[in-house]
Structure 1
């Protein structure tokens, strides 16, 4: 199966045909997922709640509970090396240093009984031989780098003493204090007002340009995707249904689910009307349809959709998992 990035330079992270099933489930929650991201690039993984975005990210970080999930197929390569997701010791060597993650709710991610400075210092010392003084200096410098005013003073604050936007900046500082090669950001602007959202996204962009790190942004906000994405992977019910350069995904979506997502975006101009919706609900692992997982909600579904469609190349790295892609040609032929 071909991947998103086809440049000669090796990708920073490659996820290929990755499938995962939770214990006791009758079907795979994550089904043959493939995507990649390069250094200095941003991949946005999009889809509605329950489509498997966060589970995929936790699997990449080795943060799923031991014994709760079984990897049934595929592999993940990070910096050219296969990741041993089943080995906690091996994952600890790269998690927090070479690969790091920002979670969507900073108040529940930060420890409420420790000062923020101590939590950042702990992250430094866990992955280096820095002395206490060196670790504190790095923590102060990182807080200043992410725009925290009076960083040396703020080191003594507890999380509840900071606003939501400031807590998210602290989370970014903690994630980037060890200069990782890859940042995974899981809904980093959730529950923040629009102004703070814009500031956080701009901060991540600036730090990415400064350090050259690759970024995976997990979101359901297509406005965020349009603003920051180089490539996009659209997920539905635990599988990637479309992937490719952001411009092509927005201008020429080729999977019915992607088209539904794009159609649900409110328009600022033109006649007023009801927003378009995708009818139905995302299936759970216990009622997963055979073949195409979107077939029960798809307006173009045919008998062939009871077989699983592969990701097919449409052009210029643009791929869609639909029996009728490219839609403009094959739907007309089948009419």
Structure 2
């Protein structure tokens, strides 16, 4: 398998916060890797968006980085992860607990299943403070209250005493953000943080994350299938398909000059506000499971350009400024006749 790595022409090893290098993961009993040779990096203050349809391995990758996959369910088959200049073992739960929730934190897709319904909001945030520092209960509650103010929760003193079911969806997501950022992390992973919210609340949550990121200079990994969100917030984009990164680079280049057929399919499915109306383009078929993963290019079974050569691993092609795509026919415009 050829490695596809997101490289920034203006970055140096010293300013990289998180480095995922040639990372592969296999679930117990599977014959092939579910996550295969994934590489990307995040710098302080930067937003990296990982995009792809459901089942592409975005959330599994993030859970693996946090050491949150069920114990014994999966094993690392290659590569590694470096955070803050330190390589860490995903099996070493003691080491993971040192920075998980403090230096690296995560916002999950559905706050109602992430917040404990039996505990008050203030107690849950205060617990996150006390787990990562020698704080008294009074100090932890004061910090929790200050964080609720910071994320724009109305009547924060009242909300401290309430339970998750008493809050709206948007307020619960703000509580999740408050809990994630209460210890001033260096890196935030946000897994579909706006999926269950209406568009107005979505915009507010994204603005809040950006404002807090600007204040603290934290790096952010945003996992989403919403390309509208990506266009609004991403500095760089990694497009995942079937557990591999098929294209990566600066957001502007990915949107203006996509070079992988899967990326083009995703872009073509975005509704347009102007021009004639018509049916949206779709990518036929479904993402393969680990049990029926094809050899060579994993997108070949759904690609309109697929040929026999696609049964072999594609060599990544570079288009400058860190823009790379793993396709035998890239750049597509010069190989169109061969692909057709």
TM over 0.5: yes
Number of residue pairs aligned between Structure 1 and Structure 2: 335
Distance in 1 between the 2:214 and 2:315 partners? 35
Confirm or deny that 1:272 pairs with 2:277. yes
**In 1, Cα distance between the equivalents of 2:335 and 2:273?**
32
TM-score, normalising length: structure 1: 0.98
The answer to whether 1:283 aligns with 2:288 is: yes
**Structure 1 unpaired stretches of 5+:** none
Between 1:6-15 and 1:89-98, the stretch displaced more is 6-15
Is residue 5 of structure 1 aligned with residue 21 of structure 2?
no
Superposed displacement of residue 153, structure 1: 1.9
Alignment partner, residue 132 of structure 1: 137
Question: Once the 2 structures are TM-superposed, how far is the Cα of residue 4 of structure 1 from its aligned partner?
Answer: 2.7
Aligned counterparts of 2:205 and 2:6: Cα–Cα separation in 1: 29
Residue equivalent to 1:298: 303
Structure 1 residue aligned with 2:195: 190
Partner Cα separation in structure 2 for residue 260 and residue 94 of structure 1: 38
User: Any gaps of 5 or more consecutive residues in structure 2?
Assistant: none
RMSD value, Cα: 1.1
Task: Give the alignment's TM-score, normalised by structure 2.
Answer: 0.96
1:150 to 149, 155, 160: 155
Aligned positions of 1:171-186 closer than 5 A: 171-186=176-191
Structure 2 CA distance, aligned partners of 1:57 and 1:165?
A: 23
Classify the secondary structure of the residue corresponding to 1:317.
coil
Does residue 64 (structure 1) correspond to residue 69 (structure 2)? The answer is yes
Deviations 1:163-211 (A, max 9, x none): 0000000000000000000000000001100100000000000000000
Over 3 Å counting, the alpha-carbon distance change for 1:22 and 1:334 in structure 2 is: closer
* Equivalence for 1:224: 229
Shift of 1:157: 0.5
Question: Aligned pair 1:169/2:183, yes or no?
Answer: no
Secondary structure of the 1:206 match is helix
Shift of 1:310: 3.4
CA distance in structure 1 between the aligned counterparts of 2:23 and 2:326, rounded to whole angstroms: 15
Between the aligned partners of 2:15 and 2:297, the Cα distance in structure 1 is 31
Greater Cα offset, 268-277 or 208-217: 268-277
Shift of 1:334: 6.5
Q: Aligned partners of 1:110 and 1:324: how far apart in 2?
A: 47
Alignment partners' CA distance in 2, 1:125 and 1:231: 34
Q: Deviations over 1:37-87 (max 9, x none)?
A: 110000000000000000000000000111110100111111111121110
Q: Which residue does 2:127 correspond to in 1?
A: 122
* 1:235 alignment partner, one of 234, 240, 246: 240
1:211 aligns with 2:216: yes
Pick aligned residue for 2:255 from 250, 259, 263: 250
Q: Contact conserved, 2:38 with 2:245, CA < 8 A, in 1?
A: yes
Query: Contact 1:85 / 1:91 at 8 angstroms: preserved in 2?
Result: yes
The equivalences for 1:30-41 within 5 A come to: 30-41=35-46
Q: Deviations over 1:99-150 (max 9, x none)?
A: 0000000001000000010000000000000111111110000000000112
